Structures are given as structure tokens and as C-alpha cells.
Amino acid sequence: MKVPLLDLKPQYQQLKNEILEVTEEIYESQYFILGPRVAALEEDIARYCRCSHAVGVSSGTDALLISLMAAGIEPGDRVLTSPYTFFATAGAVARIGARSVFADIDPDTYNIDPASVKQVLSKMAPSERASVKAMIPVHLYGQCADMAPLLEIAEEENLFVIEDAAQAIGSEYRGTRAGAMGHTGCFSFFPSKNLGAFGDGGVVTTNSETLYEELKILRVHGSEPKYYHSTIGGNFRLDALQAAVVSGKLKYLDDWTAGRQRNAEVYRQLFRDAGLEAHVTLPLERENRHIYNQFVIRVSSGRDDLRQFLSDAGIATEIYYPVPLHLQECFKDLGYRKGDFPVAEHAAETSIALPIYPELTDDQQGYVVEKIKDFYA
């Protein structure tokens, strides 16, 4: 049996006719960049995330970059974030000329641990601590970071908060949606995210009128009015075709999310029945709406051999992420060493993501768990 990590073709079949219709309209109009399609998507996203505004941008990475620009982060400033995330989180910080300051993660949720953040801050020299200007909590795998204590720290330290919600559209923390808790929220429409475009795209959400206006200006090279620049932005525009595709898909997102949540339950039942407790730790659902962009388990031993074994059986898996960011070669100059964040390092060595996409069948899931059982037998 073949079990891919993700199969987007069933979604496309579901939507094909409506998408072909709007894309044809866009071809006929020859209006490709920003415009009414992007504005309509922004309204839909703001409503969906239950916040005041949304600004469509070119990618999730650019959503982070433009947020850091809007926050006024400058070379030499420091930004607190997780070492256990996709590269873009800290990549955006470095591209501004700022320095990432990492704190360890919570072993149960893989999200940044507020206690570790406090400890890191308390160990900094006063001048260093004063240079920490922002925090980027990442809602990894589709579950929100522990925002209440993080926002409390941000308040005390006067930090700008950028939620990296690229994997977490529709996820909730104590009833509030991802992207509605920080100063800005950053989302990605990369095809493998829960709400994917037919290419790159992203969006920034905010509840601040001032930031909303600033983000729109930064998105077009800081131009306001046209061809007059009081600030330097970039080309962070979203195009109409991607906006139309994402708008078309948004109607189905809650159904797809329900499918992912159902699959997570199916896995939990299958793993319970398989009696694999000694070998497999299932993801903990701590916050109220986990949207399962990924279903990541942790294994007691032989992670890489297990992955090969599953691959030989036709089951695709992935490691998110094999190298924590503090150990990436390009961040050597940040001065971190192996052992600095043991929880993140351990997660990088023992975690493995299983297929969880909505259209996955019970048979496929049964086969995945059976093969894992075979491996440990």
C-alpha cells in the first residue's frame, strides 16, 4: 500500500471547476497583482482569524520580514524565538540584520517554553536584554504556543510580538485564533500548509489600524503616495491568481481541518490498540483547537531506521526538523553550541511526522501503525 505524506489532488478535484472559472476571469481581465481579488481574500482571512485586518503578501517568509520591518527592528536588535521551527523564522530575523535569541521548547508541544524564555532573559547582561525588541512565538504543527505567559513577558519587556502562524491557520488558544494575539500574525499559503495556494503566498494579520496602514505601504516598496518613498519596503505583493485560489479553498478549510482532527483521533485509537506506549509518544493536544498541519510522534529509539523501514513499505514520513536552528551552520556567529537547548535537540533526534492529510483513509492509517508495530517487534 502507498501512503504519501500529503496528496493534494483530491482537494483539487473538489474545487477544479470553480477555480478554473475564476482563473479564467483573471486571465480575461489581465489584472494580476493585488487588486480586488486580493482585497476580497484579505477580508475573508481577517474574518476567519477574527482580527481586524489582513494584508496579503508574497509568502509566509515575507510576512515575517514585513512584520519585523513594521516593528521597526533594526540591525543589532535582538529577537526572541524558538530554535525548533522552519528556517524562515530566524532567517527573517537575520535578513533584517538582527540577532535571534533562542529559548528551549516544551517537550510536549514542541513550542517555545515560557519558563525557558524567562531564564534566557534573566541570564542576559542588562545592555543585551535592552536590545531584545521582539518575540516570534511559532505555533508549530498547528497548535498555538502558550501565549498567555509569553504575552505577559512581552508586556514586561516591551516586546513587539509576531506570531509565526504559518502552520496554524484556524488554530485557537483559549478561544482566540492564531494571528489575533500578537501585534501581527504571519501565515503562509505554501501548498503544503492547511490552506495552500497554487504557488507561493502569505498574509499578515493585525488588530492595529496603524500597523495595517504601514504594512500596506511596506508591501509596495514603501511607496506612499505612488513613487514617493519616506520609508524602504520591498516587493511583498500577493497576486490575484493565488488570492482567488486561496479564497476558493477557504470555504472548505473547516471541513479539511475536521478531517485532520478525525485522523488524529484515528491514530490515537490505533496506537492505543497496538500497545506501542513503550516506543511511541503521541502529540499532546494542549490548546483548544489543534489543526494538525502535522501529526508528529516521538519514538524511543531507531528513528532513522524506522523512517527507512516505513519508506520501504511505501509510507512517506518527514522530519520537522532534523537540525535545530541554533546548530545551523549559517547561525554559527550567534555563538550557540550543542547542548544549549537539549529539549529541542532531543526532539530533532526522535520526532517523525506521519501522514495526516484529510483524505487519508482508515486503511492507510491502519497500515502505518501496523508497520510501526512490525518495526518495534
Ligand X SMILES: *Cc1c(COP(=O)(O)O)cnc(C)c1O
- Of 93 and 276, nearer to ligand X (C-beta) is 93
Instruction: Candidates 8-16, 23-31, 160-168, 239-247: pick the segment binding ligand X (CB under 6 A).
Output: 160-168
CA dist., res. 285 & res. 94, Å (int): 32
Using CB under 6 A, which residues numbered 292 to 331 contact ligand X?
none
Should residue 82 be labelled a site residue for ligand X when binding is judged by CB under 6 A?
no
Number of residues in the chain: 377
CA distance 79 to 100: 5
- Residue 220 pairs in a beta bridge with 235
Output the smallest distance, CB 366 to ligand X, in A.
29
Q: Which of residues 199-258 bind ligand X (CB under 6 A)?
A: 200, 202
Q: Which is nearer to ligand X, 132 or 166 (CB)?
A: 166
Q: Which stretch binds ligand X (CB under 6 A): 10-18, 54-62, 228-236, 335-343?
A: 54-62
Q: C-beta of 189: minimal distance to ligand X in Å? A: 7
Assess 170 for contact with ligand X (CB under 6 A): no
The answer to whether 243 and 19 are in contact (CB under 8 A) is: no
The Cα–Cα gap between 189 and 59 comes to 7
Measured between alpha carbons, how far is 216 from 362 in angstroms, rounded to an integer? Answer: 45
Q: Which of 113, 164, 214, 239 binds ligand X (CB under 6 A)?
A: 164
Q: Which residue reads 537539549 in cell numbers?
A: 342
Stretch that binds ligand X, among 26-34, 57-65, 282-290, 336-344 (CB under 6 A): 57-65
Q: Is 262 helix (H, G, I), strand (E, B) or coil?
A: helix
CB of 144 to ligand X, least distance (A): 13
Residue 115: half-sphere exposure toward Cβ, Cα within 13 Å: 5
Read off the C-alpha cell for 182: 500578537
Give the three-class secondary structure for 369.
Answer: helix
Scan residues 105-144 and list those touching ligand X (CB under 6 A): 138
Which DSSP state fits 351? E
C-alpha cell at 343: 529539549
Q: How far is the CB of 94 from ligand X (least distance, A)?
A: 14
- In the chain, the largest separation of any two C-alpha atoms, in whole Å, equals 68
Alpha carbon distance 117, 104 (integer Å): 7
Contact with ligand X (CB under 6 A) among 144, 166, 315, 356: 166
Specify the stretch interacting with ligand X by CB under 6 A; choose among 159-167, 211-219, 274-282, 322-330: 159-167
The residue from 89, 100, 281, 294 that contacts ligand X (CB under 6 A) is 89
Residue 110 or 267: which CB sits closer to ligand X?
A: 110
Q: How far is the CB of 92 from ligand X (least distance, A)?
A: 8
CA distances, 10 to each of 72, 165, 188 (Å): 43, 25, 21
Number of residues that bind ligand X (CB under 6 A): 15
Name every residue whose Cβ is closer than 8 Å to that of residue 332 and which is 6 or more positions away in sequence.
Answer: none
Nearest Cα residue to 184 out of 283, 265, 68: 68
Which 8-state DSSP code applies to residue 138?
B
**Contact pick of 100, 167, 205, 351 for ligand X (by CB under 6 A):** 167
The span of 85-93, 151-159, 207-215, 324-332 binding ligand X (CB under 6 A) equals 85-93
Residue in 59, 109, 261, 317 binding ligand X, rule: CB under 6 A:
59
User: Would you tell me which residues interact with ligand X (CB under 6 A)?
Assistant: 59-61, 85-86, 88-89, 138, 164, 166-167, 188, 190, 200, 202
